[in-house]
Amino acid sequence: MSATTDREKNVQAAWSRRLYQTNIGRFFLRTVFLRRWFSQLGALYFDSAWSRRMIKRFITEHDIDLRQYEPARYRSFNDFFIRKLKSGQRPFESDPAAVISPADGLLSAVRLTEDATFQVKGQSYSVATLLGAVAGEADFARHISVSDSSDTESDRNSRNATSSAGTELAARTERLQAARRFANGLALIFRLRVQDYHRYMYMDSGTAGQLHHIAGKYHTVAPIGLEHTAVWQENTREWQSLRYDHIGEIIQVEVGAMLVGRIVNHTATTFARGDEKGYFCFGGSTIVLLVQEGQLQLSPKFETCFEEEIPVLQGETIGRAQHNP
């Protein structure tokens, strides 16, 4: 897209094309690069002292201004990658109606349909699948049986399995209900490139729901990955319902990517605007915000994000809340 830097196009596109557009590349994707162990192996190196040799070159290649960050002696490349900004480097409005960006990155948006589905780069998505709820709960329920026979050990095991299945069904039903609340809403997509700041924050004061983890693959979140697979429904991700005091309920989904060994979310039940929510370890990553119909009005600067990715900084005002929850 037009906002993507030439450096990212040249460096990422070359190896991504080989992986996603050649037979041998797709073979290595399936057998190596999309596996959890590959990202974990990478994490071991990026957490080691040996990886410090990468820091200087990375700073030069991506033109990173270290004066913006807290002084530190980095023990590893990952230690550098999750470096913290100095206080005041990402100011934000205190106006309760201001909707601010939770992260640095490239912002795009898509509109959700009445059945909470959407398309990106020709790939079809559903909010239900994004949140880990599967289609066909009725079929799932038909496999749950309760016996009227005597209380044998087999019966007790069957009831335990039934109870577990019932709990899983209830969780999936809850996720489906959450997905339906976002019919005709928006999905705001923040794509974090490797050169972006990889800590993210809360957009307003409020309370947090349960944090859900969904295991998955590790596709690249670069445009070529999005063109070839439904990345956000296949990748490892975490999501949480955030009930903001002045915006209302928003669901935030953090999506891991190739070589992202960890998504680290802090434990918090209440929070203030600007508090840190978490961070991604090495690799490009994505945050998807699910916004309900009529919940916010995008600022004029970001109205074209439905057609292109627009650079955004953490704390920058991206819109205005449209009602008081």
Show which residues are catalytic. Answer: 104, 285
* Contact criterion met (CB below 8 Å) for 277 and 265: yes
Residue whose C-alpha is closest to residue 276's, from 264, 285, 284, 287: 264
Neighbours of 258 (CB within 10 A): 24
Beta bridge partners of 191: 106, 286
Q: What is the DSSP string of 66-97?
A: GGGB-----SSHHHHHTPPBPTTSS-----TT
Extract long-range pairs of 124-129: CB within 8 Å, 24+ residues apart. 124/230, 125/230, 125/232, 125/233, 126/179, 126/233, 127/179, 127/182, 127/187, 127/290, 128/175, 128/176, 128/179, 129/233
The owner of tokens 């802090």 is 266
Neighbours of 122 (CB within 10 A): 9
Reduced DSSP (H G I as helix, E B as strand, rest coil) percent helix, strand, coil of the chain, to 5: 35, 25, 40
How far is Cα 65 from Cα 77, in angstroms, rounded to an integer?
Answer: 16
* Contact criterion met (CB below 8 Å) for 109 and 305: yes
How far is Cα 298 from Cα 249, in angstroms, rounded to an integer?
Answer: 17
